[in-house]
Structure 1
C-alpha cells in the first residue's frame, strides 16, 4: 500500500455486475458522480479518483436483503450476488479530518440504488498517515501505570443499579468495590449527568472515597466517570475529574460523535474509556453497516485508550468469534513504529465462569475484565464476587479447571453454583 493512499474493504450485495458497482462506489466517494462533468479532467481523475483494486465474488441469493426503489423502477431482479470489494483512496482528498475520512469510506455508499446490501468491513492505513491523527494518551501501559497494576489481568466493575442512586449512595458503592480489591470502576452508559446524581456532586464524592481507599492500599482505583454530553460539558467535567485526582473518563462514542471525542482527547490527558453502546445498530446485519474492524480504526484515530468488545458467552447477540476477533484488533498496532494499541474491555454478563475463555481469547493479560452483576450479584457479596474472579484467573494461569480450583475457594464455588445454574 502506497504512503499516499489508504484502503477500505466492503461486502456488497447487488443484482448487477459487482465489478461495475465497485467502480460506481469508487467514483461516488472520490471525484465522480453518476455522469462525467466539466472540469473532471483526466489529470484530476488520475490524482483524485479512488481505485478498485479487488473484486472477489461470493455466493448468490434469490432474494434481496434490503429493498431498492432504484432497482424496482428499472425492473431489475435477482439473483443477488455478493462480493468482497477493496478500494484504494487518495489521502490528499481528505488530509487529516476524521469526519471526512468516515464520510469517504461510508457516507452515501449506503444509499446507492445499485446495492441491496453494503457493509464496510475494514480500513487499512499506512503508518505515516495513522500518525497524523490522535494517539492514545494512556493506552495499555499508561492505564496499568495509573492503576499501579504492573502485571496480570485488570479487573473492573460497573456501578449497579445503573441509575437512580444519589451521589452519596454511588460513593458508598465505590467504597465497597474499593475494599473488595477492584482495579477499575465505571459508570453505566446510561448514567451520565442525572438530576439525582449530577457530576458536579458525584465526581468529588466518589473521588474522596477513592483517595481514602488509596491511603489504605497504596493504589488508586481507576474510575471512569461517564461524561457523555455536549462538547463543552464534556471538557468541563473532564477538568473537574482531573482536579479531583481522577484518572479516567468515559464517553458513549456513537452518540458523542468524532468531533466531540477528538476535542476531548486534545483537552485532557485522562484515560479515555470508549463505550460502543449502539454499535449493534451498525453491525448486526451481515450485509449492512460497519464491522468492528473498520469501526475500531476510526475511534482509535480519535485517540481513545480503551475500547469495548462485549464479552464471551455474555448476554448480547455477538458470537464468541466476533468478540475474539475484536480483541485481537484492539491489541494490534495501527502504527508499526509506536505502541498505539488500546485496552480491550470485556463486559456484558461476565462472571468467574467466563474467565477461561476470555484469557484464552486475549492471548495474555492485557485486557480489562468487567463484571457488574457478576460481582455485585454474587451471593457472598461484592468482595466474594471479586475473589471468585481472581480465583478463576489464577486457575487459568496454573492450568487448573474452575471446578478443581473451587475446591479451595468458597467464593468461586458459590459463583459456579449460583451463576452457573443461571447461565445453563
Structure 2
C-alpha cells in the first residue's frame, strides 16, 4: 500500500494540464491562489501535494462544465489522467478529512472544465482506524443460511403506502415464496402511516414464526435511516426482536452517520446508494464508484448496491460489473474489507447468466422487486425462476465443478 494518500482524476482544462494539476495540488494542500509568507520550501517539502503522474488523453472542442477560465488558443480543451498524492501527516487516518482533501474545492477551480475522481489508494493506517465490514460476505451468508450461491432477495413493493399489518402480510407471502432476503424500500422508514417500531414488530413476528416452522430465518433489512440517535434506537429494537440486518441510505445519513452506525451495529449493514446519480451521472464531474465505495466499505458497509445488468437506470453494464468487482477486491493486505455487491433495479431471471459470466463470482445479493412480485405465476414462481436460473448457471459454468465461489480479486480498471 502507498505511504501517501493517492487519488486518480480525469481532468479537462483550457490551460496547460500540468499547470492546472499544480493548481489543484496547491488548493488541496499547502497553497492558495497567491503566495503566502509562511509557505516556505521546508513546509512544501513536508506538506504539499505532489503530482505523481500526468498522462495526456484526447481533446474536445466544447467544455464539459460552465465557469471555466479562458478559451484555449487552438480551440480545444485538453483532457488528462492525473495522480495526486498527499502525506498522511496532513490529515491522519480520518475519512471525513480524506473526503475534504481528495474531493473538496478542486471541483470548483476555474482551471477545470471537467474533473472526476476515479480512484483512491490509502495507507494501512486507514485500515487500522476504521472497523470496515463486521460481517461482509462470510457473516452475511452465515446469518442468511445461504452458501455457494447468490442470496436471492426482493424489495417490499409498493414502496410506501402499506401500514405495519399490510407489510407483515406481504412479508409472510415473501417468506413462504422461498426468499433468502427482503428489504424495506429506501423510501420507507418511520412515517406516521407506517411507524418503524410497529412495522419492525409486525414483520419480525412473521419472520420468527416462519423460522420456527422451517428452521430457516429470512434476512430482512430494516431501513433505519435517520439521525444518529434514531438509528441506534431502531438498530437496538431490530436486534432485540431477532432481526439479522439493518439498512441505511448513505447519502442521507452522511459519512459521520455511517461511521457511527458501523461502530455500534451488531448486525450487517445494507448500504443503499440512492442519490448516486447526482454524484456520477455527468461523465466529467463527480466520483467514480470505484473510489466512492471504498469510503463506505471502510466505514462499515457490509452490502453495497451496484445497480444491475440491463437495469432501469442509465448506468451501462460494464460500469455495473466494474463496481461489483471492486466491492470484492481487498483494500488492504491485512484487512480486505470485502463487501457483498447487491444487484438490483429491473432484475429478473434473464440477467442471471450474463451477471455470473461477467462477475465470475456467486458472492452477491440478487434483488428483484418486480421480477418476483409481478411474476405472472406469483411471488413463489418468481423466486423459483430465479433460483432455477442461478442453479443452472452455476452448474453449467466451466469451473463450477471445482469452484468454491469465493470473492474475486481482479482489480477493476
| Structural mapping, 1:338-357, within 5 Å | 338-357=335-354
Q: CA deviation at 1:70?
A: 4.0
In the other structure, the counterpart of 1:149 is 146
**Distance in 1 between the 2:2 and 2:253 partners?**
33
| Structural mapping, 1:98-109, within 5 Å | 98-109=95-106
Contact (CA 8 Å) 1:7, 1:86: kept in 2 or not? yes
Residue range with higher mean Cα deviation, 122-131 or 95-104 = 122-131
**Distance in 2 between the 1:163 and 1:390 partners?**
27
Q: CA deviation at 1:76?
A: 7.5
**Distance in 1 between the 2:68 and 2:114 partners?**
13
**Distance in 2 between the 1:146 and 1:263 partners?**
22
Task: Give SS of 2:213's match.
Answer: helix
| Structural mapping, 1:224-303, within 5 Å | 224-303=221-300
Residue 137 (str. 1) matches residue 134 (str. 2):
yes
For residues 200-255 of structure 1, the C-alpha deviation after alignment (integer angstroms, 9 at most, x for no partner) is 10011111110011012211111111111111111111111111111111111012
In the other structure, the counterpart of 2:55 is 56
- For these two proteins, the number of residue pairs brought into alignment is 397
Contact (CA 8 Å) 1:131, 1:335: kept in 2 or not? no
| Structural mapping, 1:318-397, within 5 Å | 318-397=315-394
Q: Return 5+ residue gaps in structure 1 as ranges.
A: 401-424
**Distance in 1 between the 2:103 and 2:371 partners?**
38
Q: CA deviation at 1:77?
A: 8.0
Normalising by structure 1, report the TM-score. Answer: 0.91
Please provide the CA RMSD for this pair.
Answer: 1.5
**Distance in 2 between the 1:391 and 1:102 partners?**
43
**Distance in 1 between the 2:252 and 2:389 partners?**
35
Of 302, 306, 309, the residue aligned with 1:309 is: 306
In the other structure, the counterpart of 2:205 is 208
Q: CA deviation at 1:69?
A: 5.6
Contact (CA 8 Å) 1:345, 1:369: kept in 2 or not? yes
In the other structure, the counterpart of 1:127 is 124
Residue 192 (str. 1) matches residue 186 (str. 2):
no
**Distance in 2 between the 1:374 and 1:280 partners?**
23
Q: Return 5+ residue gaps in structure 2 as ranges.
A: 398-413
Q: CA deviation at 1:268?
A: 1.3
**Distance in 2 between the 1:203 and 1:2 partners?**
44
**Distance in 2 between the 1:364 and 1:84 partners?**
30
In the other structure, the counterpart of 2:35 is 36
**Distance in 2 between the 1:286 and 1:376 partners?**
34
For residues 265-294 of structure 1, the C-alpha deviation after alignment (integer angstroms, 9 at most, x for no partner) is 111121011100111111111110100011
**Distance in 1 between the 2:79 and 2:69 partners?**
18
